[in-house]
Amino acid sequence: MTDDFFRARIDQMIDLRHPLAVLARRMPWAQIEVSVAPLFAHKSRSGLTTESADLFGAGAAVAGSGVSNAGRPRLPIRLMVSLLYLKHAFNLSDEELVERWAENIVWQFFSGQDYYTPGLPCDATQIGRFRRALNEAGVEALLAKTIETAVSLGAIKKSEFEHIIVDTTVQEKAIAHPTDSRLLDVARRKIVLVAKRAGIPLKQTFEREGKTLCRRAGGYAHARQFKRLRSVIRRQKTILGRVLREVERKTAGVSEQSQTNLKLWLARAGKIFEQQRGDKNKLYALHAP
């Protein structure tokens, strides 16, 4: 018997021996929802204290305090967790994921749907927001639950986890094309930012000139005017050297923690300042040495 006379349930339309169908029935969804739910609970707000005056005199009132239930209801946690799993399992973008989910009844069964849903499960941007709310620890917890389920199914043996081989040959990394001009400007901006956070006043940050030099370097490189390009790079090196020397002179007056952070970035920026065209072991990205 079906709960809806006019529609057939998905579990009557698919082969329940499909790997995703088997995984859907063996995953500890209740435990996952209990562990993830606190991250999406409505937070209590302290509110804003405002002063008001009436016939009885001046007084203070608190506005906007407590737990707010306003806003659109959240999507089911199982739906969002399953979408996140399908995204990584099939290496899809958020837009491709929601479009394929609307056409694939096995995916919908895995997501906890009882009946076929022709529409999109959610807006594609909601998947990214859900992933950020989970943070790295939450994603690792979901991965651990998946591995535990695979072990309980016998798909993976515990002995297979004794040795792990990681292939990073073509691992993607957020590194821009390492031109000399860009590296010098990034190093200057980073040192200025770190010095500002440490409370070190600088005579000159060269912010406006740095933007102008970067723009000129890009134009000269595009026009293949290499003599002018080298002149711009020499100027960028000069202003980076000035900033480095000024920050190094004023490092002694900051806290020990700030000094440790400053030494790290000064060392990297110093390497970019000193490295030459034919050097080995060059630094191609300031944040990922």
Written as tens digits, the pLDDT of the chain (289 aa) is 456 667 889 999 999 999 889 888 888 888 888 888 877 776 666 666 777 666 666 666 666 566 666 566 778 889 998 998 899 888 899 999 999 999 999 999 999 999 998 899 999 999 988 888 888 777 777 777 777 877 777 766 667 667 767 766 666 667 778 889 999 999 999 999 999 999 999 999 999 999 999 999 999 999 999 999 999 999 999 999 999 999 999 988 888 888 898 999 999 999 999 998 888 888 888 887 7
Cα dist. 162→52, 91, 243 in Å? 67, 26, 50
Helical ranges in the chain per DSSP H:
19-26, 29-36, 77-89, 94-101, 105-110, 124-153, 180-197, 207-222, 226-249, 256-274
Encode 117-135: b = buried (16+ Cβ within 10 Å), e = exposed: eeeebbebebbeebbeebe
- Which residues are bridge partners to 51 per DSSP? 60
Yes or no: say if 191 and 243 are a contact pair by the CB < 8 Å rule: yes
Using DSSP, state whether 59 is helix, strand or coil. Answer: strand
Q: Would the pTM count as exceeding 0.85?
A: no
Q: Can you tell me which residue has the tokens 């134009």? A: 219
| DSSP summary character for residue 34 | H
Q: How far is CA 61 from the centre of its chain?
A: 39
